[in-house]
Amino acid sequence: MAKRKIVTGNDPVLRKVCRPVDKITPRIRQLLADMLDTMRDADGVGLAGPQVGVLRRVIVVETEPGQTYMLINPEITESSGEQVGDEGCLSLPGESGCVRRPMKVKVRALDTDGKEVEIEGEGLLARAFCHEIDHLDGILYPDRAEYMNEKA
């Protein structure tokens, strides 16, 4: 596995809408494995394709050890409830803001074998899914923040 460079700041790639993955190839699987390594190395809980400069609809999420998701073409199919809390982003180091998200979401995606999966997430997992799927549409959390916290 290889660590990739995380795109940060005002890089225009972070504002682009990603293309769906049409075919799951060894290259796509390697991308997801690299993203997982990169995310873990940076102490993150999620990472999306554009954050490593790849405009494809892929995300990795790991909110707790052993709960790892490597998802292709993810979409939120249901959401309910509400949570409000601080978010940060590996692409916006040193920043954080207060964001309102659903408490529960249901996500449909393909796994690395091309099998359709449906995952229900609650709390931090729901927040992470929403945050990473937003990245695939060029949306960054400050766009949704009720307010940004002062930099430390």
Active site residues: 132
Give me 67's structure tokens.
């709960």
Q: 43 exposed, middle or buried (CB, 10 Å; 0-12, 13-18, 19+)?
A: exposed
Q: Which residue's entry shows tokens 């939120």?
A: 76
Is 72 buried (19+), middle (13-18) or exposed (0-12) by CB count in 10 A? Answer: buried
Can you read off the two tokens belonging to residue 70? Answer: 């490597």
